[in-house]
Amino acid sequence: MNKEILVLVDDGHGEMTPGKRTPKFTDGSVIKEHQFNQPVATKLVALLKHNGLSAHNITQGNADVTLPTRVKIANALAAIHLRKYPNGKVIFISVHYNAMSDNWSSVSGVETFHHYGSKEGKRLAADVHSEIIKGTVQSNRGVKEAGYYVIKYTSMPAILVELGFMSNLREASLMLDQDFQYECASEICEGVKKYFNITESAPGPLPILTPSTKLGYSKLRHLHNNFLTDVHIYKSNKPPEYVLGTPRRYESISQIESKYKDVEAIVNANLFPFSAVDQAKTPLGYGLIITDNGQGKKIADYYQNSSPNFVDLIAWKDGKVTIETVTSHIVDNRRLANIQGNAFFGASGCYALKIEGKDTRLYWDKVSHANSYTDRTMVGVDGEGMWYMIVAESNTNSKGLRALDQQVICDLLGLDYCVNFDGGGSSAMKHKGKFVTKQSGRNIPAAFISRL
């Protein structure tokens, strides 16, 4: 253990620091520097502690903290630590993301600063920087001297790392990618170990460093294989309701939503095709929809599909969740009666992504678009019983996801069970009566809703 070593981490600017943000993306949105600095600092502290060091984030939370206050906190914590460990060591690391201008620029790369003439600061900067450029995709802008306030007035070896440029479109697109955030934190941690000549590996499994999505609506801009995708998430502490619009009719999400009260969020469910001649015709196929339909009574309906292959996501009243396979058009009435009597809903999806926390490719081979980048709608539940309705969209600014990329999202959210319910133009989400997706989706026969 290396508890006598204290690493003080400064997560750069606060949420409301003026000007510390990207230029506008084509959809009008921006990313604030704090949205990168803060999670990297959080991950870094967790990794340092996992490696047996003492570590503290001096600017926890979203508040703006003045530079003199940051220095005062750091120096006070250093003094306390050195009283406890007279032979101890303290260093300071400030995490940042750079900018060249208020407009998009081609300038890019990572650079690490120490204060003018600081020998230990220079050595720390060199060790950390050498590890950063090994692991990240950023170009190398080198180790440099500067007079930045937090590295000038702190009483210990101090560095400031600039891990990319907010004003560079490609590097700005990395800022919210949690794999990249983790990579930056991991390489800084390795640089600290190099500086202190720590060679042993951390014991046991790495800590889970992905913060859970807040209850309600949130949006991720997820970068995978250099493609940026907008992922819309609605998280609830209870299962969503699986509802029909007008039975055996295709309707828009807005039309379905209008039939129910107090809808907080709604996403499309699977798109089961009817007869092109007569929508009311008895379907030839099988697709499971079991729901109370907002009417206090169970309704079962079955929809035609060109393939008999489905996975059924079932949320049981006893809290259990199962994903079951269907391989025949033949209806098993005994099974359906059991689901009707003992489950909140049963819903047929295209293929499974997670079962009991493990990756699965169940029925991926039955769906031609599983390996294509496209819109996706997913519904799943994590290990704490939190339910997620998820829509990843493709448009001029967003690539969409393949099934493999969907599993990455499942891992980020910690989902134990997840099913894909669509892979094309019907994917859409509304929150509080307004579309959060660019598209409103195709007409559909059923949807998932979450109520207030």
Assess contact for 444 and 289: CB atoms under 8 A: no
Assess contact for 373 and 406: CB atoms under 8 A: no
Domain 2-195 has CATH 3.40.50.720: no
What CA–CA distance (Å, rounded) separates 232 from 229? Answer: 10
What CA–CA distance (Å, rounded) separates 263 from 217? Answer: 13
Q: Three-state DSSP class for 40? A: helix
**What is the CB neighbour count within 10 angstroms for residue 84?**
12
What CA–CA distance (Å, rounded) separates 364 from 368? Answer: 8
What CA–CA distance (Å, rounded) separates 230 from 221? Answer: 5
Q: Please, how many CA atoms are within 13 Å of residue 399, restricted to the half-sphere of its CB?
A: 16
Q: Which of 189, 133, 155, 182 lies closest to 71 in space, CA to CA?
A: 155
Assess contact for 375 and 444: CB atoms under 8 A: no
DSSP 103: S
What CA–CA distance (Å, rounded) separates 450 from 264? Answer: 6
**Confidence (pLDDT) at 209:** 52
Assess contact for 59 and 74: CB atoms under 8 A: no
Q: Three-state DSSP class for 130? A: helix
Beta strands in 80-196 (DSSP E): 89-98, 110-115, 140-146, 158-165
**Confidence (pLDDT) at 226:** 55
**Confidence (pLDDT) at 321:** 95
For the question of whether the overall pTM of this predicted structure is more than 0.75, the answer is no
**Confidence (pLDDT) at 343:** 84
- 63 to each of 58, 88, 144, how far by Cα in Å? 12, 30, 29
pLDDT per 10-residue tile (average), the chain, 452 residues:
91 74 84 89 88 86 80 93 94 95 92 97 97 85 96 97 94 85 92 94 61 71 67 92 78 92 91 48 47 46 55 89 80 76 84 92 87 93 91 79 88 88 88 92 89 83
What CA–CA distance (Å, rounded) separates 93 from 129? Answer: 12
**Confidence (pLDDT) at 311:** 87
**Confidence (pLDDT) at 331:** 65
166: amino acid identity, one letter = M
**Confidence (pLDDT) at 295:** 45
* Residue with token string 């204060």: 115
**Confidence (pLDDT) at 135:** 75
DSSP string across 240-300: PEEEESSTT--B-HHHHHTTSSSEEEEEE-------SS-TTSPPSS--EEEE-TTTTS-EE
* Residue with token string 């502690």: 49
Domain boundaries, the chain: 2-195, 216-451
256: amino acid identity, one letter = I
Q: Which helix (DSSP H) or strand (DSSP E) does residue 171 occupy?
A: helix 169-172
What CA–CA distance (Å, rounded) separates 222 from 227? Answer: 8
